């Protein structure tokens, strides 16, 4: 048996072990047609490097699916090994909730609590109340807030109150910039 045949046999064995480990049915072929590259199973795509790590390290299939879904949902490039060790993306999350038209101390309290929850989730909160000076008009604050929002990866509409004009504008801007909504887990 030549070297290429030995390699193909080893890849095939990894493939069989991986498919069994993950609970998949045996696929028709590799996605690219080249063993040792990308394996397409159902709606999943796994590199041979990831397949090999799953088998060699006996990663639980639940963790592998969790990692895969995390990467898809968050457009993340965290590799499997780093994810298993606890690495996650540190997204900047813009906090959006009504401020004007309600008692300022209520807004300050709500935003402070939201910041804590975002920090506890491993992300970086960005609040429109950060560095507030109370010497500007509403429109001037909105311009500053939109600039902050444009530098964020996610937006969190955390209030149960009806959307204010500012929240409606932030929602529209986030949508036009392709900024995804943050989901607290």
User: pLDDT tens for residues 133-170?
Assistant: 878 899 999 999 999 999 999 999 999 888 999 999 99
pLDDT value at 30 more than 60: no
Helices and strands in the chain: count of H runs, count of E runs: 7, 6
Backbone angles phi, psi at 76, to 5 degrees: -95, 150
The correct answer on CATH 3.40.50.450 for the domain covering 92-181 is: yes
Instruction: Output the pTM of the full model.
Output: 0.64
pLDDT at 29: 58
Residue 12 to residue 176: CA distance in whole angstroms: 46
Quote the CA–CA distance of 185 and 183 in Å, as a whole number.
Answer: 6
Which sequence spans correspond to the domains of the chain?
3-84, 92-181
């Amino acid at each position: 048996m030549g070297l290429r045949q030995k390699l193909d046999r080893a890849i095939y064995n990894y493939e069989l072990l991986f498919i069994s480990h993950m609970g998949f049915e045996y696929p028709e072929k590799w996605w690219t047609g080249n063993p040792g590259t990308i394996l397409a199973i159902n709606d999943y795509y796994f590199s041979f490097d990831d397949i090999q790590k799953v088998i060699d390290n006996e990663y639980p299939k639940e963790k592998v699916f969790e990692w895969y879904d995390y990467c898809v949902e968050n457009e993340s490039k965290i590799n499997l090994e780093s994810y298993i060790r606890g690495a996650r993306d540190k997204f900047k999350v813009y906090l959006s909730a009504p401020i004007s038209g309600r008692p300022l101390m209520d807004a300050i309290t709500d935003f402070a609590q939201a910041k804590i929850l975002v920090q506890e989730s491993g992300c970086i909160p960005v609040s429109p109340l950060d560095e507030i000076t109370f010497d500007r008009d509403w429109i001037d604050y909105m311009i500053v807030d939109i600039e902050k929002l444009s530098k964020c990866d996610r937006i969190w509409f955390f209030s149960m109150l009806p959307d204010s004009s500012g929240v409606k504008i932030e929602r529209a801007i986030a949508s036009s910039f392709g900024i995804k909504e943050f989901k607290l887990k």
